Structure formats: structure tokens, C-alpha cells
Amino acid sequence: MSACQLVISQIDHTRHGTPSHFLSRKGLSLWINLDQLDKVNRMSMLFSVDKFNLLSFRQRDHGENFKSKAPLVKLADYARARAAELCPSQEIASVHLLTFPRIFGLVFNPVSVYVLCDKSGAERVHIYEVRNTFGDMHSYIGQVTKNHTVMRAEKLLHVSPFFANSGHYRLKIRVVGDRLRLLMRYHQVDKVALTATLRGKMRILSSASILSGLISTGQWPLRPLVSIHIEAIKLWLKKVHFFSRPAPPKMWSEAKDIGKVKEF
């Protein structure tokens, strides 16, 4: 597998219940090997790691580097450290990250996903790094028993002011060949309140794929953040109840592997 690939995707959000709401758009993401950032940095003159470019990836945007003025921690090391806290005896051979790139130095990442594998390529740990528009971030970290498993995580981070800070998530990422699929379902009590999916096809990172990806998806700087606020206005106009922001939680919490669930 290439050290870095672009993911050209379709992203859908469905708010269930009354009033219902639906959002669909194209997306441009990175599927990046965090152990090979030096190699990634040489793949295209239009892409840089930890430097400004048309497209770029900055380790400062993630993990314990987020909002920190301390010396930079390599993200691969950060991910392995979290895995060691959860499963100390598990050796991690590779760390990949699904995330949005910076475009002209700007980015907002609602969700980034780390997939940690052993030497055989089997998935061992998933890290779902979630942030809100208030500048808070929280990670849900789970040990994987089998590839393509579903994680259950209690919702601790206040993401949307139109949902209470309660309930739980069911999370799944699936990477097969050049196809990637991410599913997130938010449950309140015994019902599904929100379903978010990302379905994408991967292309090796190159100057040509960067330009074609930007053109085909219409991705521009901070589009996810702008889109979130536009949809928030629509929900406000629908008179959806508004919940105030509570104090942010600690840095991470444990998610539980619940196996393969039929609905996924």
C-alpha cells in the first residue's frame, strides 16, 4: 500500500426523528501511513508534511499536539502510547490515519480515525478522534478483536448543540483494497438519532491526483466548518432544541468492541 492516498468520497449525514434532516456532499481525505511521513513528504510538490502547501498534513492538528506548545510528539508514537495503555502486550507494526488535509493551510477535522495493525496486518486498535466547533477534542479508543468490528463508545464530547450530551456511538471503519468506508451511528436510549457515513475510493497521492481530487470534489478551505454552520442555521430554523455546551471531557475514553453488528 502507498504511504499516502487521497480518498475521494461521498459523505452523508442523516438526522432521524422529527424534524429529520439530511446532508450529502463530496469529500477529500487522506489515508496516511504515520510511520512513513518522510516518504509522504516527497510524494508531490503540491503536498507537504508539517509545512505550508496547496495540500498539507500537520501533526500539530492531532493527538496530544492539539493546542499544545510543548515539543512536537510524533503521531505514530502518540498512537502507540495510547495503544500501550489499553493493551500493553500488543505490538503495533503500523499506524494509519484517515483525516482531512489542510488546504492552503486551513482545515477543520470533525472526525479523524487511526487504525493500528500488527505485523500480520490485522487491526488491533482503533482511535476515533472527535472535535467540535468550540475547539474541544476527545478520542474514543478501543481494542479490536477482529477486522471490521464495531466499537461502542459512550458519548462524552458535546459535538452538536442540537443533541444532548448523552447516549452512545457505534463506530466502524472498513478498508478493503482501494475502498474505504466509515460509519458512525449516534444512539439515544433505544433509538438511532444520527447516522453519518463516508464511502470513498483511494488514489495514490500525486500532483495529478491532488488537482483532480480538488476539482472533482469541489473541496475548498474550511468547507466542512462552513457546511456545519450552514446546516446548524437550517436546524435552528426548524426550531430544533438547543443544548448549551458543558465542560469538555478528559483527553480520551475507552470504546468497547461489540463484534459485527447486523445493522452495519
Please determine, for residue 94, whether its predicted confidence score (pLDDT) is greater than 70. Answer: yes
140 and 153 Cβ atoms separated by less than 8 Å: yes
CA 80 remoteness from chain centre: 17
List, as one string, the DSSP characters of 111-161. EEEEEEE-TTS-EEEEEEEEE-TTS-EEEEEEE-SSTT--EEEE--S---T
pLDDT in tens, 119-170: 999 999 999 999 998 899 999 999 998 878 899 999 999 998 878 889 999 9
Mean pLDDT of 80-103: 97
201 and 29 Cβ atoms separated by less than 8 Å: no
How confident is the prediction for the chain on average, in pLDDT? Answer: 92
Of 9-18, 25-34, 69-78, 201-210, the range with the lowest mean pLDDT is 9-18
- Dist. CA 116–CA 147, nearest whole Å: 11
Nearest partner of 114 among 145, 83, 146, 84, judged by Cα = 83
Q: What is the pLDDT of residue 42?
A: 98
Q: What is the pLDDT of residue 7?
A: 98
Nearest partner of 29 among 176, 160, 210, judged by Cα = 210
Query: Helices in the chain by DSSP H: which ranges?
Result: 37-40, 75-86, 207-217, 223-237
Q: What is the pLDDT of residue 235?
A: 72
Q: What is the pLDDT of residue 263?
A: 66
pLDDT in tens, 189-242: 889 999 999 999 999 999 999 999 999 998 877 777 677 677 768 776 776 777
